[in-house]
Amino acid sequence: MDAEVLVVGAGIVGVSVAVHLVQRGRKVMLLDRRGPGEETSHGNAGLIERASVVPYGFPRDLATLLRYAGNGQTALRYDWRALPTFLPWLARYWRESAPARLARASRDMLPLIAHSVIEHDRLIERAGLSALVKPGGWMEAFRTEAAFQGRLAVCERLAAAHGLAMRALDRDGLQRAEAGLGPGFIGAIHWMDPKSVVDPGQLTRGYARLFQSLGGTLATGEATQIAHRGGTWRVHTAGGELAARELVIAQGPWSMELIGPLGYRIPLKAKRGYHMHYAVASGATQSVPIADCEIGYVVAPMQRGLRLTTGVEIARPGSAPSPIQLARAEGWARDVFRLGRRLDDAAWMGARPCTPDMRPVIGPAGRHPGLWFAFGHNHHGLTLGPASGRLLAEMMTGTGPYVDPRPYSPARFG
């Protein structure tokens, strides 16, 4: 065999699984068609989101639904041609976002969220990556008083219930905290427990180097097919076949391409998103990521400049990128964030792997011995990578898992 465990997918989740397994004495190979952290893990807003105690649910109020239906919003854009395949998934997502079901999802996700910063800190210290991570949290910024006050009431309850550190900033307070902002926001909610990453891709690659330093093997190749024969998992690539006793699928939005032929029907969809980097204009300093909550985008300070990340695009798999959503967000962001010139030749586009019940898929496949899943983190892959990696590694090595794994079981989908 090439390894005891073969992990397919070197995004933040797969790398974290591999690190935790090799720390527990397993001989591990990590396989990806590209380098570590070069897909979805590269292009996010860089948040280790300790304060995200409520998953991103589907809007249920009529006014918001009507706005989205018009397809002119920045937070969500859809391609009409993609709707036939997305509608059943969206209907289930809407159903799971009902208040009682969303509350259950929040309770189920809280143990992983609560450990997100802790588990990152452990890997960051061991890998020597503290220069890539900043304390200070992030902000939700608002353009109208009604939206600000409505959200503030919700956030105050969440902070009190979960012991989260937050503060409300009026216009003057926001200006003192972020003097580089232009006019546009009337206030903000500052969540102080999360941390931000100035280069998420580089953080993932740093974890991969830690994996190698601990004895793990990093391999490049695209897994095209998996099969179980004679107690061994075989992974076919263009460069040949790899073999391992156990196999972990951590390919994010592409996971179903490998496990679908084995009969698994997990409802996994990819929500697309874009980012662009901008030069920092004179005086336009920014200390933490800021979400323009009423419009639907985030601007985060990164090593390369200011990174603008868009909301959700629903499109057909493999369809060409569209400039529409980024252009909308840039139009709103340019003056308030004082964006300088574009620094990238083209917008980066990525795919966020999402399940309709807003929980990741972590655990044994169920019908095939030695097959394990770790994907579907619903916008929180960077946040939950190390916490998920620890959980799966503990399950695979027979250690009592540090959180209850049942809410994330693949078996919930049949």
Whole-structure pTM value: 0.96
Question: Alpha-carbon distance 381 to 105, whole Å?
Answer: 16
Phi and psi at residue 195, in whole multiples of 5°?
-120, 160
What's the mean pLDDT in 87-114? 97
Residue 281: the pLDDT is 85
What's the mean pLDDT in 199-220? 98
Taking the alpha carbons at both ends of the chain, their separation in whole angstroms is: 31
Residue 414: the pLDDT is 84
What's the mean pLDDT in 362-386? 97
Sign of the alpha-carbon dihedral angle for 177, 75, 384, 133: negative
Alpha-helical regions (H) of 260-380 = 324-336
Residue 282: the pLDDT is 81
Above 90 in pLDDT, residue 105? yes
In sequence order, what DSSP letters do the residues of 172-219 get, joined into one string? HHHHHH-TT--S--SEEEEE-S-EEES-HHHHHHHHHHHHHHTT-EEE
Residue 86: the pLDDT is 96
What's the mean pLDDT in 38-53? 95
Q: What's the whole-number average pLDDT of the chain?
A: 97
Cβ atoms of 246 and 372 closer than 8 Å: yes
Confidence of residue 278 (pLDDT cuts 50, 70, 90): very high
Confidence of residue 283 (pLDDT cuts 50, 70, 90): confident
Residues 6+ apart with CB under 8 A from 154: none
Range name among 58-62, 212-216, 298-302 with the lowest pLDDT average: 58-62
What's the mean pLDDT in 106-110? 98
Residues 6+ apart with CB under 8 A from 351: 39, 40, 252, 253, 270, 271, 272, 273
Residue 378: the pLDDT is 95
Above 90 in pLDDT, residue 284? no
Closest CA to 366 of 320, 312, 406: 406
Confidence of residue 354 (pLDDT cuts 50, 70, 90): very high
Domains recognised in the chain with CATH numbers: 3-42+201-267+356-413 (3.50.50.60), 57-81+132-195+269-354 (3.30.9.10)
What's the mean pLDDT in 329-354? 96
What's the mean pLDDT in 117-131? 98
Residues 6+ apart with CB under 8 A from 218: 10, 29, 30, 36, 208, 211, 212
Question: Alpha-carbon distance 122 to 277, whole Å?
Answer: 29
Give the percent of the chain with pLDDT over 90: 98
Q: What is the pLDDT of residues 161-173, one digit of tens each?
A: 999 999 999 999 9
Q: What is the pLDDT of residues 234-251, one digit of tens each?
A: 999 999 999 999 999 999
Residue 125: the pLDDT is 98
The length of the chain in residues reads 414
Q: What is the pLDDT of residues 293-338, one digit of tens each?
A: 999 999 999 999 999 999 999 999 999 999 999 999 999 999 999 9
Above 90 in pLDDT, residue 65? yes
Residue 1: the pLDDT is 85
